[in-house]
C-alpha cells in the first residue's frame, strides 16, 4: 500500500474526492477541513494499492492539485485491514511489480547530482579497483564496486530518455562525463606515483594478471553482462528492490574498466588502454540501452493501464 497526503484548496476538494472514490483501490479516506496552512486548504489522507498509485496521482495532477496544493507519498510497510486487502485485490497485478513513476523520478533526481561527494566516491572506487588490478585481487575489485556511485546517473539517464526530460538527461550525462574522466586521471597519477616510488612494479604485464587481461579484452560476455546489469538496475529502481546490491552489479562493468584505463596509461600499455576504454564505452552503451528498453516497456504497460483506467472512469461517470 501507498499512503497519500493531499492538501487541496477547498473549492477543489470535491473533485479530489471524486477521484479517490471512483476506484476500490483507494481506502481509509479521511478529510480534515481547513486543517492545512502554507498552502491553506483541506487535508485529505488515504491509502492506495501500490499498483494504482501512479494512476491516482496522475488523476490528481490532472485537476492541478500539485499546482494549487500538494501531494505527498509514503510507502506503507504494514497495513492490517481487510479493506486494504480488498483494495490490493481490486488493483490488477502484483504490488512487488508495480511502478510508482513519481517515486522513480524522485529517486533519480536526487541521485544524479554532480557533487563533491559523488566525485570523491568515484575516485575512491577507481583507486580501489586499480590496487585490486595490481594485486590481481577480486576482493578489492568487489570492494570498489560497493563504493562506486555511478548507478544513480546511469539510471537517471535511462529515466530521462524514456520521460524525455532534457534537464535530467543533461545532469546525468554531466555527472558521468566528469566522474569517469576524473577517476581515470586520478588513477593515472596515483599509479604513476606508485611506480616511480617503487611501491608497484616498474613493469606490468597482463599475462601475470588475469583480472587486467579480462578487463582489457571486451567480448560478447562483457556486453551480455552489461545488458543484464542495465536491465536489473532499472528494475531495482522501478520496483523498489535492493538498489544498493544492483549498484554493485552496475559497477562490475564500469569501474574496473575505468581504473584499468588509468593504470594502462601509467604503464604506457596502449593496447590495454584501448581495450579497457573500449570495454568501458561498450559496457556503458549496453547498460544504457538495456535500461532504457526495460523502462520503455514498463512505461508502455503503464500507458495501456492508464487508458483502461480512464475508460473505466468514463463509464462510471456515464
Q: Who wins on pLDDT, 86 or 6? A: 6
243 close to 236: Cβ distance less than 8 angstroms: yes
Rounded Cα gap, residues 234 and 293, in angstroms? 10
Q: Who wins on pLDDT, 7 or 301? A: 7
Is residue 247 over pLDDT 60? Answer: no
According to CATH, the topology of domain 2-98 is Alpha-Beta Plaits (3.30.70)
Indicate the pLDDT class of residue 244, thresholds 50, 70 and 90.
very low
Best-predicted range by mean pLDDT (49-53, 152-156, 175-179, 222-226): 175-179
Rounded Cα gap, residues 144 and 150, in angstroms? 12
Is residue 249 over pLDDT 80? Answer: no
pLDDT tens digits for range 194-233? 999 999 888 887 777 888 888 888 889 888 988 988 888 8
What letter would DSSP give residue 299?
Answer: H
Rounded Cα gap, residues 207 and 209, in angstroms? 6
Q: What is the pTM of this model?
A: 0.80
Indicate the pLDDT class of residue 284, thresholds 50, 70 and 90.
very high
Among the ranges given (88-102, 255-269, 274-288), the one the predictor scored with the smallest mean pLDDT? 88-102
| Domain boundaries along the sequence of the chain | 2-98, 104-302
Cα separations (Å) of 165 from 35, 161, 244, 260? 35, 7, 25, 33
Amino acid at each position: 500500500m501507498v499512503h497519500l497526503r493531499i492538501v487541496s484548496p477547498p473549492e477543489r476538494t470535491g473533485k479530489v474526492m471524486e477521484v479517490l472514490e471512483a476506484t476500490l483501490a483507494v481506502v481509509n479516506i479521511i478529510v480534515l477541513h481547513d486543517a492545512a496552512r502554507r498552502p491553506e486548504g483541506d487535508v485529505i489522507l488515504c491509502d492506495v494499492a501500490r499498483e494504482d498509485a501512479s494512476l491516482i496521482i496522475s488523476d490528481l495532477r490532472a485537476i492541478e492539485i500539485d499546482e494549487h496544493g500538494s501531494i505527498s507519498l509514503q510507502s506503507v510497510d504494514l497495513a492490517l485491514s481487510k479493506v486494504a486487502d480488498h483494495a490490493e485485490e481490486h488493483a490488477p497485478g502484483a504490488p512487488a511489480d508495480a511502478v510508482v513513476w513519481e517515486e522513480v523520478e524522485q529517486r533519480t533526481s536526487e541521485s544524479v547530482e554532480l557533487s563533491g561527494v559523488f566525485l570523491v566516491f568515484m575516485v575512491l572506487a577507481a583507486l580501489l579497483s586499480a590496487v585490486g588490478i595490481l594485486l590481481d585481487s577480486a576482493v578489492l575489485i568487489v570492494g570498489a564496486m560497493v563504493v562506486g556511485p555511478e548507478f544513480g546517473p546511469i539510471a537517471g539517464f535511462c529515466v530521462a530518455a524514456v520521460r524525455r526530460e532534457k534537464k535530467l538527461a543533461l545532469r546525468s550525462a554531466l555527472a558521468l562525463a566528469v566522474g569517469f574522466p576524473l577517476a581515470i586521471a586520478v588513477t593515472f597519477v596515483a599509479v604513476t606515483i606508485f611506480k616511480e616510488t617503487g611501491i608497484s612494479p616498474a613493469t606490468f604485464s597482463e599475462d601475470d594478471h588475469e583480472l587486467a587481461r579480462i578487463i582489457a579484452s571486451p567480448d560478447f560476455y562483457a556486453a551480455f553482462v552489461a545488458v543484464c546489469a542495465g536491465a536489473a538496475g532499472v528494475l531495482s529502481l522501478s520496483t523498489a528492490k535492493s538498489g544498493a546490491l544492483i549498484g554493485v552489479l552496475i559497477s562490475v562493468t564500469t569501474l574496473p574498466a575505468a581504473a584499468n584505463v588509468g593504470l594502462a596509461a601509467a604503464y604506457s600499455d596502449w593496447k590495454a588502454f584501448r581495450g579497457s576504454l573500449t570495454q568501458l564505452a561498450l559496457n556503458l552503451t549496453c547498460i544504457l540501452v538495456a535500461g532504457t528498453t526495460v523502462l520503455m516497456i514498463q512505461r508502455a504497460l503503464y500507458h495501456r493501464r492508464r487508458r483502461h483506467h480512464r475508460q473505466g472512469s468514463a463509464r462510471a461517470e456515464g
